[in-house]
Structure 1
């Protein structure tokens, strides 16, 4: 970290990272909305301060990786370092173009990843989902990788409020219920409805925990936390890139990851849902 950046404000950080001047600003906790100018035109930006050193740089790497697929719409990143991230502000409107989002999400997933657990280029192996740790360690077999890196670490973190045996049994079931083998998909990784913004041209994705994974995991997150026009999104996705038979029966399996993350972050209010999902696997 450059000396003085720790006490630097969002406007100064945005100016330093972009080289643009500040026209106006509005602060709100870890996020600030700032209008910047290059001397000829203005643009609205969001300046985000990371919760941990490196978190904003990791997020920027994820945004660049998702944008490189030329599929879903991603805010342009104007600058990032280990403390700050500056990107385009999305002017939100009512949800629209649901089918286009479904097809574009399928295109994103089909862009692929080198392995399950692969981080974005320039991303971090020790990353985050929200403020919870998330290890990006590559694996070849999705059932084993998912159990080792996306279920059991969070069970251990929340072991005081979870019956760990329930989740250990669930992990033994994954190979037999995971469905047909699929290649690693390029995942957003934290695709709950709050990270799907809608402007006049449709959906824009923010705040990724990007990594290589199973495409059904992104879709399961949309089902778990809800999303406007979800059935239209999924139908368009399925038409463009057909989902394997039994997709809906596997939703609970893929929801284990976000439910356990939320159990770690928010405690007992999610522990019951996580346990119920694990028991439903048989």
Structure 2
């Protein structure tokens, strides 16, 4: 059997082609459940799960191709359908997925809530502020900036929306461009606000992003003022990155929080 390795990933040739074997101790079950939940919406192509256990995932191999405007527009339409597939509640895990899940290498609790602003503050912002303080990435005074911003979420969050089915870690590296369009990998799937996925695409860039957003908006119009709320929704990924990668992301998160004050 031929193999190729890169970090925690090993590509292996099997009878019907190549697969990707991923070592993900503690996170494999959550990732497999997330991939299957996203795929069940039949909205955006998602990498196929061949098998998994507590530590390992076996996934279909995806052949990359150049991003195109047509693929970006198709992705926008599909992402709108994916979000519209919904979730039982904000914070709900995928069926079969654990409450104690992951986003990248950071823990992420899938604890449910009925109102998005309060849930977002309590489950997606403040836990990572506390981790950043404990890790010496933020100080106590800076933590207070986030606490004040959280107190304003209800007034700046825009119209209430039902829980969307989120990829949850939708940065450009998890959007694979293929000859057939986009294929999604490596989710932190949960029920959330659809603008959070879009804000993450803005944060880390995405080829033909404006064309993708225009297609999304044509299929599922975004609430007025959504661009002004990008900083609000970027607090979560920025704080996760601050916890994982340090001070430069903490500075960006602080800037986003101060934008809300």
Q: CA deviation at 1:75?
A: 1.1
* Structural mapping, 1:175-214, within 5 Å: 175-214=154-193
Q: CA deviation at 1:161?
A: 2.6
Q: Deviations over 1:138-177 (max 9, x none)?
A: 1000000000000000000001332110000000010000
**Aligned counterpart, 2:23:** 49
Name the larger-Rg structure: 1
Give the whole-Å Cα distance in 2 for the aligned partners of 1:118 and 1:197. Answer: 26
Q: CA deviation at 1:43?
A: 1.8
Maintained 8 Å contact 2:171/2:205: yes
Give the whole-Å Cα distance in 2 for the aligned partners of 1:133 and 1:192. Answer: 18
* Structural mapping, 1:14-29, within 5 Å: 23-29=1-7
Give the whole-Å Cα distance in 1 for the aligned partners of 2:240 and 2:95. Answer: 24
**Aligned counterpart, 1:161:** 137
Maintained 8 Å contact 2:196/2:234: yes
Query: Is 1:69 paired with 2:41?
Result: yes
Q: Deviations over 1:252-280 (max 9, x none)?
A: 00000000000000010111100000000
Give the whole-Å Cα distance in 1 for the aligned partners of 2:9 and 2:121. Answer: 34
Give the whole-Å Cα distance in 1 for the aligned partners of 2:66 and 2:255. Answer: 34
> CA RMSD, aligned part only?
0.7
**Structure 2 residue matching 1:280: 3-state secondary structure:** helix
**Structure 2 residue matching 1:242: 3-state secondary structure:** coil
**Aligned counterpart, 1:125:** 99
Structure 2 residue runs of 5 or longer lacking an equivalent are: none
Q: Give the TM-score, by structure 2 length.
A: 0.96
Q: CA deviation at 1:199?
A: 0.5
* Higher RCO by CA contacts (8 Å cutoff, separation 6 or greater): 2
Q: CA deviation at 1:27?
A: 1.6
**Aligned counterpart, 2:241:** 262
**Aligned counterpart, 1:239:** 218
Q: Give the TM-score, by structure 1 length.
A: 0.89
Q: CA deviation at 1:76?
A: 1.1
**Structure 1 residue matching 2:260: 3-state secondary structure:** coil
Structure 1 residue runs of 5 or longer lacking an equivalent are: 1-22
Give the whole-Å Cα distance in 2 for the aligned partners of 1:231 and 1:182. Answer: 23
**Structure 1 residue matching 2:149: 3-state secondary structure:** helix
**Aligned counterpart, 2:77:** 103
Query: Is 1:78 paired with 2:57?
Result: no
Maintained 8 Å contact 2:137/2:243: no
Query: Is 1:33 paired with 2:11?
Result: yes
**Structure 2 residue matching 1:137: 3-state secondary structure:** coil
* Structural mapping, 1:218-233, within 5 Å: 218-233=197-212
* Structural mapping, 1:242-253, within 5 Å: 242-253=221-232
Q: CA deviation at 1:242?
A: 0.1
Query: Is 1:139 paired with 2:113?
Result: yes
**Structure 2 residue matching 1:94: 3-state secondary structure:** coil
